[in-house]
A and B are shown apart, each in its own frame.
Chain A
Amino acid sequence: MSLKIDTTGHRVFRVFNGLFLLLVALTMLVPILSVFRDSIDFQPRSTLRLALIPREPTLFYYRRVINDASIYRPFLNSILITAIGTTLSLFVNSMAAYTMSRRDIRGNVFFVYFLVIIPMVVGGGGIIANFVWFRALGILNTYAVMILPMVASGFYMIIVRTFYWSIPYSLTESAQLDGASEFEIYRTIIAPLSKAVYAAIALFAGVAYWNNWLHAFMFVHNPRLFPFPVKLRAMLFLTQDAERLLQEWALQQGLNLQEVMVTFEGTSSAIVMVSIIPILLIYPYLQRYFAQGVRIGAIKG
């Protein structure tokens, strides 16, 4: 951006800036790499291990995790919740945003207050009221409680509405003259032009549903319905409890504690990696859409 002025001070700044940002990037990378190393290394931890390269590469831990049949159902649950939730969220919010974007009907300001601002300021009823209400509705321990409360989002509505405003109104007007109904206009003219913003919203919602742990943790106690994050947490903690028991047992039996422990650390690392590898694989392709959505949302909004 700035013009080139090569003073000594600036050159020093550039070097330090580059080094600092490198350090920041490493701070992001090293924790993930160290977990990765733990997940493929058979080396007992009696020694210091600063290098991030495994000494005795093994897929033993991954095999353990993959062979654990109990992770498949939570995984499928998460896919189901994410697919249904994202689809619903996209339909509900994009349609609502269309009505909000239309200035020629009564109530568009009311809708913005009712659907976006008041919920944001008031913040609903809080954990306890939600719990009591969900129980009265009979949706505790169902898929619905992990999907429905998050569908309507004022934030998404505002982003999409702002995007609709960038579509020339003359398109709508000429379609109206041709006798198209409002829903047809939305379906055949507006929606096809809004694919970019829909992609961004779908990604926001998708990540939110995929990563949602809190709703399931508070409102779902049936293990058959657990989404992946809840199962993940349970597995990681189970291994820690098991670790403690095993430690005592190994001491009693006079076994090499380090070697026994390493199995558990390794398994837990493999669980972590299994859960982030899908993200690592698809994320570089999706990054673009996120950036796009964020920009539409906050700069124009």
Chain B
Amino acid sequence: MAQFEAVVPPFGTTGTARKKRRIFTARSIPLYLMILPAMVLTIMFQYIPIPGRLIAFMDFRTTGFQGWVGFEHFRFLFNTAYFWNAFRNTWRFIFLGYLFVFPAPIIFALLLNEIKFKPFKKAVQTLTVLPHFINWVVVSTIFMGILSPRFGYVNDLIRALGGQPVFFLSLPDLFPWLLTFLRIWKGVGYSAIIYLAALSGVDAELYESAVIDGAGRIRQTLAVTLPALAPTILVLFVLSFSDVFAGLFEPVLMLKNPMINATAEILDTYIYEVGLERRRYGLGAAAGLFKAAISMSLLLTVNWVSKRFSSERRGIF
């Protein structure tokens, strides 16, 4: 949380030492009542389900608890090729996410920042932010349409150039790249807003002195622009975790088809299919524990990295 505490105007700091001693005072009780709804909802939907993770060790049917089975479900998972396939693919998408989806808006913002012609800059920005507001149901349909081998726009283009039509959504090797492209397509403009805001705050004098020191354009970017962006990049590196990892479920579920299961099945879809569709709650929960472990270790890692590289040795928490 250090990051959140970083820029703290002195709000409510007067006379803290004395007031802090007692918990319930005439002033604090109404304030606690105001936070109560958020506490109740968070406990209901974030904390109470946590013990439900133990379903991974139970024989749990639609009728309820049938007894403990120990590591039975895990043994089953370890011997299932489908599970390992989903496990591998999840990691592949995480790597592609950090390698391409995360840096794309930074590069995009840097390039857009070089444009001096305001109307063009504004038009590009408006167009690129737009897909963020279109939900995955529609985005996937649009792309299934334009990638369709019969009527799709892309294949019309290929035919016009004299090539053979390609059934893009049936190629397992292509799918990870296709999804990465779609995630960038949908998110790049929106994520760039914040970098552009940070860029507009860079002091012009810094560039002047860099030029006086004989720095060229590239050197200016490396020595002035990137250091100015660094704090934002580090914070978003941690916050983008939810986009990179949690945000996978919907698009994959929408675009997945039996022809590309080899690369499209991820832990989320596996849990959903095994756990909810086939009602094998225990197996689903066991795979869910795996997912939670990946998610937690990933979050702690990115936070650690962020801490390691920030000048104030601060992560998000």
Q: A17-B111, A31-B146, A106-B28 are in contact. Are A301 and B4 (CB under 8 A)?
A: yes
Q: Which of A112-163 contact B (CB under 8 A)?
A: 112-133, 148-149, 151-152, 157-158, 161-162
Q: Is B172 an interface residue (CB 8 A)?
A: no
Which one, B129, B146, B225, B232, contacts A299 given CB within 8 A?
B232
A-chain residues with CB within 8 Å of residue B295 when the two chains form the complex: 123
Decide if A49 touches B156 in the complex (CB within 8 Å).
yes
A17, A98, A128, A176: the one contacting B284 at CB < 8 Å is: A128
A75 at the interface (CB under 8 A from B): no
Question: In the complex, A232 Cα to B135 Cα: how many Å?
Answer: 11
In the complex, A101 Cα to B11 Cα: how many Å? 7
**Chain B residues whose CB sits within 8 angstroms of the CB of A176 once the complex forms:** 27
* CB pair B15 A152 closer than 8 Å: no
Among listed B81-89, B90-98, B203-211, interface-contacting one: B203-211
- Per-residue CB contact flags for chain B residues 258-294 toward chain A (1 = under 8 Å, else 0) read 0000000000100110011000010011001101100
Contact with B along A95-114 (1 / 0, CB 8 A): 11011111111110101111
Interface pair A152/B52, CB less than 8 Å apart: no
Q: How far is the CB of B208 from chain A (nearest CB, A)?
A: 6
Q: How many residues of A contact B (CB 8 A)?
A: 118
Find out whether the CB atom of B284 lies under 8 angstroms from the CB atom of A272. Answer: no
How far apart are the CA atoms of A175 and B20 in the complex, in Å? 20
B31 interface residue per 8 A CB criterion: yes
Query: Which residue of the partner chain, among B35, B108, B130, contacts A100 with CB atoms under 8 Å?
Result: B35
> Is B124 a contact partner of A25 (Cβ separation < 8 A)?
yes
| Interface membership of B235, Cβ < 8 A | yes
Asked if A121 and B4 make an inter-chain contact with CB atoms under 8 angstroms apart, the answer reads no
Q: Are A232 and B7 in contact (CB under 8 A)?
A: no
Q: In the assembly, what is the distance between CA of A210 and CA of B41, in Å?
A: 21
In the complex, whether B185 has a CB less than 8 A from a CB of chain A is: yes
Chain B residues contacting A125 (CB-CB under 8 Å) are 48-53
Q: Does B308 contact A (CB under 8 A)?
A: no
- Shortest C-beta distance, A136 to chain B (Å), equals 9
Asked if B300 is at the interface (CB within 8 A of a chain A CB), the reply is: yes
Bound-state CA distance A128–B50 (Å) is: 11
Interface string of B297-313 (1 = CB under 8 A from A): 00110000000000000
Q: Which residues of A contact B52 (CB under 8 A)?
A: 125-126, 128-130, 132-133
User: Complex: how many Å from CA A96 to CA B38?
Assistant: 6
Most buried by A among B10, B27, B52, B129: B52
CB-CB < 8 A to A272: which residues of B?
A: 138, 141-142, 145
Q: Which residue of chain B has the shortest Cβ distance to A18 in the bound complex?
A: B115
Report the separation of the CA atoms of residues A232 and B7 in the bound assembly, to the nearest whole angstrom.
44
Residues of B within 8 A of A14 (CB): 114
Asked if B20 contacts A31 (CB within 8 A), the reply is: no
CA distance in complex: A148, B42 (Å): 10
Is the Cβ of A183 less than 8 Å from the Cβ of B30?
Answer: yes
Cβ-closest chain A residue relative to B199: A1
Residue of B nearest to A208 (CB): B135
Q: Which of A53-61, A63-71, A166-174, A248-256 contacts B (4 or more CB under 8 A)?
A: A166-174
Contact among A107, A112, A132 with B1 in the assembled complex (CB-CB below 8 Å): A112
Given contacts A10-B217, A50-B156, A120-B299, contact A96 B12 (CB under 8 A): no
User: Contact between A121 and B296 (Cβ–Cβ < 8 Å)?
Assistant: yes
Asked if A126 and B28 make an inter-chain contact with CB atoms under 8 angstroms apart, the answer reads no
Tell me if A244 counts as interface (CB < 8 A to partner B).
no
> Considering only CB atoms, which chain A residue lies closest to B242 in the complex?
A120
Indicate whether B151 reaches chain A with its CB closer than 8 angstroms: yes
- Beyond the given pairs A31-B142, A93-B38, 20 more chain A to chain B contacts, judged by CB atoms under 8 angstroms and listed by A's residue number, are A1-B207, A2-B220, A3-B208, A31-B146, A48-B156, A91-B37, A122-B46, A123-B246, A124-B45, A127-B271, A127-B272, A128-B281, A133-B48, A172-B12, A214-B250, A218-B276, A261-B150, A272-B141, A275-B138, A279-B133
Q: Measuring CB to CB, which residues of chain A are less than 8 angstroms from any residue of chain B?
A: 1-3, 5, 7, 9-10, 13-14, 17-18, 20-22, 24-25, 27-32, 34-35, 38, 45, 48-50, 91-93, 95-96, 98-107, 109, 111-133, 148-149, 151-152, 157-158, 161-162, 164-167, 169, 172-173, 176, 181-183, 186, 207, 210-211, 213-214, 218, 229, 232-233, 236, 261, 265, 268-269, 272, 275-276, 279-280, 283-284, 287, 290-291, 294-295, 298-301
Contacts from B to A (Cβ < 8 Å): 1, 3-4, 7-16, 19-20, 22-23, 25, 27-28, 30-35, 37-39, 41-42, 44-53, 55, 60, 108, 111-115, 120, 123-124, 126-131, 133-138, 141-143, 145-146, 150-151, 153, 156-157, 159-160, 185, 188-190, 193-194, 197-200, 202, 204, 207-208, 211, 216-217, 220, 225, 232, 235-236, 239, 246, 249-250, 253-254, 268, 271-272, 275-276, 281, 284-285, 288-289, 291-292, 295-296, 299-300, 317
- 8 examples of A-B residue contacts, CB within 8 angstroms: A17-B115, A99-B31, A115-B42, A127-B275, A133-B48, A186-B34, A229-B135, A295-B193
